[in-house]
Structure 1
Amino acid sequence: MDVQRFNHRKNDHISRNTTPDNWSETTLEDDAMKIYTRSIFADQQAELYGTLSKCLPMETKIEEPFLKISMKDWKAHGDGLLEVCFKKGEDVIASCSCRRFEQYGLLCKHIYFVFKMFKVKEIPNKYVMRRWTKDVVPNALNNTSDLNVDDNDGHKKAKEVAYEIMQTGENLIGNLMRDFDHLVIVRDQIREMKEMVDELRITKPIDPKFDRYSRLIGYEKPNTDAPPTVRVPTGIRNKGRGSHKRIKSKKEQIISLKGKRSRTCSVCNTKGHDIRTCSVLKGQASVADKKGKKRRAVQLETDPGLLDEEDEEAETGEGEEEYDEVDEADDSDSEW
């Protein structure tokens, strides 16, 4: 806020106490220089410059009590043809088809061109918006907010008097900038008044910055002398603490979002057990074994001659000894 106030006072001082360059030396530009702030005057100065290089009158029609002037604007959109409706007299009326004044509150180059054509020396008051003028905000406005009076009516009247004093001083300075002798006289009188006020010691001391900000936000300081108690908020992680966890890669993050994969049986397509413990597979094996034994029994009943030597050895148990001997021989060879 201090920076904004400083920039405001700086720009206000530049607008009020400095004089910009007047390249055209016309009365319209002089009037705009006295009325508008510096940035708005730069805009109007560019419009006045455009009356020389960008506007060309084409045709004039008389429709009582107005004159309609058609002109060519080289920088306008489209065909660049515009029309200005103008009435000269004590009450000057001017309007342009570009509608710049209706949009921004500032006159366009086309109206200025017509003003120069019909020798209008000053900008009419109806076409001067107060928000673009120098005196829209009195200088040092914030200093009047701390006036010490008894009631609200007195405060209001005191503020009005303060505004009037500031505006009067600014107008005096503005009018006497080119008259050095009278400007020095006014300065000496103001110095005498200031010395008188200093002798009476009625100047108000500057309040501390803390008190000014407290009044601004409505804060009231408690009447206790104890120091304030500051507690650490609960549930707040300290800055820079970290999570104490390993940073996962993108692949690990995607896998964790999908969830852990579980093993499924290829036979029954059931999750959670292996194919070796699948009950469906065991049931299929037992059924196949039963069917094979049953088929073998049926074949033996129909043809007893199918009983081969292996079946006889299995029944008598003679082949087991030979098998054991072969195994023993193989074991001895492998050890050797």
Structure 2
Amino acid sequence: MYKASCSCRMLERKGILCRHIIWIYSSNGVKTIPDEYVVNRWCKDALRSKSFNCNGDPAEEIDIIDAKQISMSKMWSEVHQTVGIPMGRSKEVVDSFSSLIREFKEKLAPLGSQMSKEQEMVALIGCSTTQEVTIFPPKKSKNKGSGKRLLSSKTKAIALAMKPKRMYQNDN
């Protein structure tokens, strides 16, 4: 339908229509962006990129979300909303709220399992850690400069003035 280009080349650089092209379209009465300028990532039905688990194997497409996962997500949402309640209140309110949470945690302690940190991480992530270290910290480098001081223009002028002048020989 309508083709447009702009000297700012934002469409080519970032894949986004610039304000110049949008202004031209609106001044010409175009109500919708032409399909050739609509990027796939803007759409609801954009394809998801392939995801991998921690072992590097491709993860299967997750079409059906587990009911337990939904309820856990709702629970965490409620926890975060509840913790935000005493924000901006006095220290006494925060302390009493903290003591209520401790009491609630003590009541729930018999329900929780006694798992180590590593076992909790395996349950959360779905795979165990390896004992072999393949990444080492980088070697220490000097990042404070080479130590050579830059000379000021005054110092350069003095050094140039101290230099002996060239002797000319005139063979006439």
TM-score, normalisation: structure 2: 0.31
* Structure with the larger strand share: 1
TM-score, normalisation: structure 1: 0.17
